[in-house]
Protein backbone atom coordinates (compact mmCIF):
# COMPACT_ATOMS: atom_id res chain seq x y z
CA UNK A 1 0.00 0.00 0.00
CA UNK A 2 2.87 2.32 0.89
CA UNK A 3 4.50 1.56 -2.42
CA UNK A 4 1.24 2.37 -4.23
CA UNK A 5 1.03 5.71 -2.43
CA UNK A 6 4.60 6.68 -3.22
CA UNK A 7 4.10 5.67 -6.86
CA UNK A 8 1.00 7.85 -6.95
CA UNK A 9 2.83 10.85 -5.53
CA UNK A 10 5.80 10.26 -7.81
CA UNK A 11 3.59 10.37 -10.90
CA UNK A 12 0.93 12.92 -9.99
CA UNK A 13 2.92 15.57 -8.14
CA UNK A 14 5.49 16.23 -10.90
CA UNK A 15 2.79 16.46 -13.57
CA UNK A 16 0.82 18.89 -11.39
CA UNK A 17 3.90 21.02 -10.94
CA UNK A 18 4.52 20.96 -14.69
CA UNK A 19 0.97 22.19 -15.30
CA UNK A 20 1.41 25.03 -12.85
CA UNK A 21 4.72 26.23 -14.24
CA UNK A 22 3.95 25.74 -17.90
CA UNK A 23 3.61 29.12 -19.51
CA UNK A 24 5.00 31.05 -16.60
CA UNK A 25 8.13 33.11 -16.96
CA UNK A 26 10.09 35.25 -14.56
CA UNK A 27 8.13 38.47 -14.04
CA UNK A 28 4.86 37.35 -15.63
CA UNK A 29 3.13 34.68 -17.66
CA UNK A 30 2.68 33.93 -21.34
CA UNK A 31 -0.43 32.68 -23.11
CA UNK A 32 -1.17 31.96 -26.77
CA UNK A 33 -4.60 32.24 -28.39
CA UNK A 34 -4.94 30.74 -31.83
CA UNK A 35 -7.64 31.75 -34.28
CA UNK A 36 -9.60 28.80 -35.58
CA UNK A 37 -12.76 28.53 -37.62
CA UNK A 38 -13.51 32.20 -37.15
CA UNK A 39 -16.72 32.26 -39.13
CA UNK A 40 -18.53 29.91 -41.37
CA UNK A 41 -19.63 30.98 -44.79
CA UNK A 42 -23.15 32.30 -45.22
CA UNK A 43 -23.27 30.50 -48.52
CA UNK A 44 -21.75 27.22 -49.52
CA UNK A 45 -18.05 27.39 -50.21
CA UNK A 46 -17.08 27.44 -53.86
CA UNK A 47 -14.99 24.50 -54.90
CA UNK A 48 -11.97 24.84 -57.10
CA UNK A 49 -13.76 22.91 -59.83
CA UNK A 50 -16.06 25.87 -60.35
CA UNK A 51 -13.21 28.21 -61.08
CA UNK A 52 -11.75 29.02 -64.45
CA UNK A 53 -9.27 26.24 -65.11
CA UNK A 54 -6.94 27.40 -67.88
CA UNK A 55 -4.07 28.36 -65.62
CA UNK A 56 -0.58 27.22 -66.36
CA UNK A 57 1.39 27.31 -63.12
CA UNK A 58 1.00 26.67 -59.40
CA UNK A 59 -0.58 29.56 -57.53
CA UNK A 60 1.54 32.22 -55.88
CA UNK A 61 1.07 32.07 -52.12
CA UNK A 62 0.98 34.93 -49.64
CA UNK A 63 3.58 35.03 -46.88
CA UNK A 64 3.76 36.81 -43.49
CA UNK A 65 7.03 38.51 -44.44
CA UNK A 66 6.74 42.28 -44.71
CA UNK A 67 9.45 43.28 -47.16
CA UNK A 68 8.37 46.79 -48.11
CA UNK A 69 7.05 49.65 -46.07
CA UNK A 70 4.03 50.73 -48.08
CA UNK A 71 1.75 53.16 -46.27
CA UNK A 72 -1.76 52.17 -45.26
CA UNK A 73 -4.41 54.37 -46.78
CA UNK A 74 -6.51 54.59 -43.61
CA UNK A 75 -9.77 52.94 -42.68
CA UNK A 76 -7.89 49.77 -41.84
CA UNK A 77 -8.85 49.41 -38.23
CA UNK A 78 -12.14 49.67 -36.44
CA UNK A 79 -12.30 52.73 -34.19
CA UNK A 80 -14.71 51.01 -31.81
CA UNK A 81 -11.98 48.75 -30.45
CA UNK A 82 -11.18 49.08 -26.79
CA UNK A 83 -7.52 48.23 -27.33
CA UNK A 84 -5.63 50.19 -29.96
CA UNK A 85 -3.60 47.94 -32.25
CA UNK A 86 -0.23 49.11 -33.47
CA UNK A 87 2.06 47.81 -36.16
CA UNK A 88 5.26 46.16 -34.97
CA UNK A 89 8.27 48.31 -35.83
CA UNK A 90 10.54 45.84 -37.61
CA UNK A 91 13.99 45.24 -36.19
CA UNK A 92 16.90 46.77 -38.09
CA UNK A 93 20.23 45.01 -37.63
CA UNK A 94 22.26 46.66 -34.85
CA UNK A 95 19.53 49.10 -33.80
CA UNK A 96 19.10 49.92 -30.11
CA UNK A 97 21.09 49.02 -27.06
CA UNK A 98 23.10 45.83 -26.94
CA UNK A 99 21.45 42.62 -25.74
CA UNK A 100 23.11 40.01 -23.57
CA UNK A 101 21.27 36.79 -22.84
Cα gap 23→31, rounded to integer Å? 6
Distance of CA 67 to the CA centre of its chain: 20
Contact indicator for 35, 42 with CB cutoff of 8 Å:
no
Of the candidates 5, 36, 79, 80, which one interacts with other proteins according to CB under 8 A? Answer: 36
Q: In a 3-state reduction of DSSP, which class is residue 48?
A: helix
Among 1, 4, 70, 79, binds other proteins (CB under 8 A): 70
Minimum distance from residue 15 beta carbon to other proteins (Å): 22
10 C-beta neighbours (distance < 10 Å), count: 9
Output the smallest distance, CB 41 to other proteins, in A: 4
Q: Contact at 8 Å (CB) between 30 and 37?
A: no
Binding pattern to other proteins, positions 82-101, x when CB under 8 A?
Answer: -xxxxxxx-xxxxxxxxx-x
Site residues, other proteins (CB under 8 A): 25-42, 45-46, 48, 50-52, 54-55, 59-68, 70-73, 75-78, 83-89, 91-99, 101
Amino acid sequence: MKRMKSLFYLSVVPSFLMMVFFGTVHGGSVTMQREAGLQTSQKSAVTKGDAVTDKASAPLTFSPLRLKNKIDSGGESADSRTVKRERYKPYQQGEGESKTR
